[in-house]
A and B are shown apart, each in its own frame.
Chain A
């Protein structure tokens, strides 16, 4: 087009680019406010007591000598899945003397192998 004025097209374009960059920065800064994790949230999120409790219950059956004869696996699995949405199961091998414990609550997964039982 003959009369189109092409003056200052670079400045305008660069100004435009910089505005977009600043918008982008503002977006990131804004998002970080939500992503930052406070210590209490981390403590609440990690299921320390649940894992200690499940281990204590399994070991209680072990010390009674009834770990492989009981329905504990069924209780643990069904009740936690229904009430808390977590998976707890274990596998006890009496001959080899090993116990494998698995815990998964969706954000934390815990596996443990106890030997020399």
Chain B
């Protein structure tokens, strides 16, 4: 039998307030135990994943048409247009990854150093590319290079910094095809013309041109249209050009007809007689050999046409020189048709 003493240390009895305190403590302990998984929220890897950035950059370059779709028509001389370009993607269409547009490629590789790039139509290397292609807070250094697999095309200069010697450079290589849009429409006037036809009408039906899928399409809204008319030297009666107009077909509604020298700045219609540009129509009297009409890329967009319209380019002369009522600009008359050439693009980030 135990003899009770005043301070009996062998009794396992607890006072009530101790119990309550301990219960609260235990509850707090269980809470902490449950919230342990929140400890792992700020786990980070020790190195920056350069390969991920390189891969993402290559996807934006090669598989994305960019934002806006016609960013290659913007003039970098004006800061407002420079800021309009949000994403530099070289693709021809969102549904055809890996096929690039030559105009976008050329514009992408036109750059100069930060001291010389403002006020000219060039990108600033590297700031413009960082903001519009690489993205992210960290100022990555990068190098993007491109080589055509056939030797007939000149390779663009690589953009970015020179590649360092260290081994941990993020790298990705992509194989692409570039669409070359160099189509021309050449025809010549008739030697024995009809007596009442003194207009040459070249009809471009946008709906017809848009009938082909993007990689093989001549896109009149965003590409240059070249028309060359030759054979004036063999006409029996000398003739002079009096007017060049661009009109909707059929001739109803807006925008109606626009004369070729309505705009002074790019994009506009350029008329060349015998290879020399004519600033105004009617041109000074001269002996005609050939006439070339070049409609800049983006001109039809500027005037307000869309892909469902048809457009007539009407050249009016003072004497008859043709017996065709309409010349059609379509895939069977234009040469050469758009074709694709192979290229390889490498993106390095460090």
Chain A residues with a Cβ under 8 A of chain B: 2, 4-7, 9, 17, 21, 24-25, 28-29, 32, 36, 38-40, 43, 52, 55, 59, 63
Residues of A within 8 A of B33 (CB): 21, 24
A52 touches B97 (CB 8 A): yes
Within 8 Å by CB of A32, from B9, B43, B95, B213, lies B43
Contacts of B49 in A (CB 8 A): 38-39
How many interface residues does chain B have, given as a range? 20 to 34
Q: Which 8 A-B pairs have the closest CB atoms?
A: A39-B52, A6-B12, A39-B49, A32-B40, A6-B10, A52-B97, A43-B55, A25-B36
The answer to whether the Cβ of B2 comes within 8 Å of any Cβ in the partner chain is yes
Contact A59 B43 (CB under 8 A): no
Mask: chain B, 51-69; 1 = CB below 8 Å from A; 0 = not: 1100100000000000000
For the complex, is B151 an interface residue (Cβ under 8 Å from A)?
no
Expressed in whole angstroms, the Cα–Cα distance for A32 and B12 within the complex equals: 42
Instruction: Knowing A6-B12, A17-B29, say if A39 contacts B37 (CB, 8 Å).
Output: no
Give the residue name and chain of the A residue nearest to B33 (CB): A21
Give Cα A4–Cα B213 distance, bound, in whole angstroms. Answer: 91
- A-B contact list, 24 entries, CB within 8 Å: A2-B2, A4-B10, A5-B10, A6-B10, A6-B11, A17-B29, A21-B33, A24-B33, A24-B36, A25-B36, A25-B39, A28-B37, A32-B40, A36-B45, A38-B45, A39-B49, A39-B51, A39-B55, A40-B51, A43-B52, A43-B55, A52-B97, A55-B95, A59-B95
Would you give the shortest CB distance from A47 to chain B, in whole angstroms? 14
Cα distance A24–B36 in the bound complex, in angstroms:
9
Nearest CB to that of B213 among chain A residues? Answer: A63
- With a cutoff of 8 Å between Cβ atoms, the chain B residues found around residue A2 in the complex are 2
Q: How long is the Cα–Cα vector from A32 to B11 in the complex, in angstroms?
A: 46
- State how many angstroms separate the Cβ of A79 from the closest Cβ of chain B: 23
Smallest Cβ distance from A19 to chain B, in angstroms?
13
Cβ–Cβ < 8 Å partners of B37 in chain A: 28
CA distance A52 to B94 in the complex (A): 11
A28/B40 in contact, CB under 8 A: yes
Partner of B9, one of A7, A21, A40: A7
Output the least CB separation between B92 and chain A (Å): 14
Residues in chain A near residue B2, CB distance under 8 A: 2
Q: Which chain B residues numbered 88 to 104 have a C-beta less than 8 Å away from chain A? A: 95, 97
What 6 additional pairs, Cβ within 8 angstroms, besides A7-B9, A24-B36? A5-B10, A28-B39, A28-B40, A39-B51, A40-B51, A59-B95
Question: CA–CA, A52 to B99, complex, Å?
Answer: 13
CA distance A96 to B45 in the complex (A): 51
The residue that B12 contacts in the complex, of A9, A29, A38, with Cβ under 8 A, is A9
How far in angstroms is the closest Cβ of chain B from A12?
13
* Smallest CB separation, B345 vs chain A (Å): 17
Q: How far does the alpha carbon of A5 sit from the alpha carbon of B9 in the complex, in Å?
A: 9
Nearest B residue to A59, CB-CB: B95
In the assembled complex, the Cα of A25 lies from the Cα of B35 at a distance in Å of 11
- The B24-43 residues at the A interface (CB cut-off 8 A) are 29, 33, 36-37, 39-40, 43
Given contacts A9-B12, A28-B36, contact A36 B52 (CB under 8 A): no
Q: Which residues of A contact B10 (CB under 8 A)?
A: 4-7
Cβ of B39: which chain A residues have Cβ within 8 Å of it?
25, 28
Interface residues of B in 1-34 (CB under 8 A from A): 2, 9-12, 29, 33
